[in-house]
């Protein structure tokens, strides 16, 4: 934002992480500013992230074990992300879980991103299940809000930088410190019900 002349603090942007760009950018840029340089800003941000930050991304080590446990329980796994399709593929590769995911959706398939329910609605259609028969795991309030609008119960994990209170207020039914804690408490979680 600073590069494009917008005085926005880290804290202001951080509070919006988890939303898709279609929801995040309008918080900080007027319609005129978006028309003026929104595409340039998005392109610059994407290139900078891919070149400078993506190589530094490391997975949570318990995620593959957690997803294997989910599979062993007879459940299917879907990823519903507000990221672009090529980015989601890279994240799955980094996490070492590409082969564990049955269904994936991205912002490319949705009309609106989180906190709108579009991404979750698409996943439910792909899985051919109702929201009441699914459980989401998310690390932002926007995950819980979007899943809730699709009638999906949400397990919150604190590894996204948001507080337990903010996740609970957004609708999370359960909250764990991270994927390892959810894996350790799997039998007592919504995933086992």
Look at residue 178 and tell me whether its pLDDT is greater than 90: yes
Helix (H), strand (E), coil (C) string for the chain: CHHHCCCCCHHHHHCCECECHHHHHHHHCCHHHHHHHHHHHHHHHHHHHHHHHHHHCCCCCCHHHHHHHHHHCCCCCEEECCCCHHHHHHHHHHHCCHHHCCEEECHHHCCCCCCCCHHHHHHHHHHCCCHHHCEEEECCHHHHHHHHHCCCEEEEEHHHCCCHHHHHHHCEEEEECCHHHHHHCHHHCHHHC
Taking only the tens place, the pLDDT of each residue in 100-117 is: 999 999 989 999 989 999
Mean pLDDT of the chain, nearest integer: 93
Overall pTM surpassing 0.85 (yes/no): yes
* Domain edges within the chain: 2-55, 63-192
User: In percent, how much of the chain has pLDDT > 70?
Assistant: 100
How high is the pLDDT of residue 17? 85
CATH topology for the 63-192 domain: Rossmann fold (3.40.50)
More confident residue, 16 or 22: 16
Taking only the tens place, the pLDDT of each residue in 40-80 is: 888 898 899 889 999 999 999 999 999 999 999 999 999 99
């Amino acid at each position: 934002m600073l590069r494009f002349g917008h005085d926005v603090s880290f804290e202001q942007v951080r509070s919006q992480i988890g939303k898709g760009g279609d929801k995040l950018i309008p918080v900080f840029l007027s319609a005129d500013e978006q028309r003026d340089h929104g595409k340039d800003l998005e392109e610059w941000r994407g290139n900078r992230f891919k070149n400078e930050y993506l190589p530094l991304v490391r997975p949570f080590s318990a995620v593959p074990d957690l997803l294997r446990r989910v599979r062993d329980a007879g459940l299917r796994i879907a990823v519903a992300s507000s990221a672009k399709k090529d980015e989601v593929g890279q994240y799955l590769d980094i996490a070492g879980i590409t082969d564990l995911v049955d269904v994936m959706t991205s912002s490319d398939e949705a009309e609106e991103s989180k906190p709108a329910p579009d991404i979750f609605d698409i996943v439910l259609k792909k899985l051919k299940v109702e929201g009441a028969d699914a459980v989401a795991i998310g690390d932002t309030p926007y995950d819980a809000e979007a899943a809730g609008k699709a009638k999906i119960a949400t397990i919150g994990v604190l590894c996204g930088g948001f507080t337990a209170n903010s996740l609970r207020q957004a609708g999370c039914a359960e909250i764990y410190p991270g994927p390892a804690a959810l894996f350790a408490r799997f039998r007592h979680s919504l995933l086992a019900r």
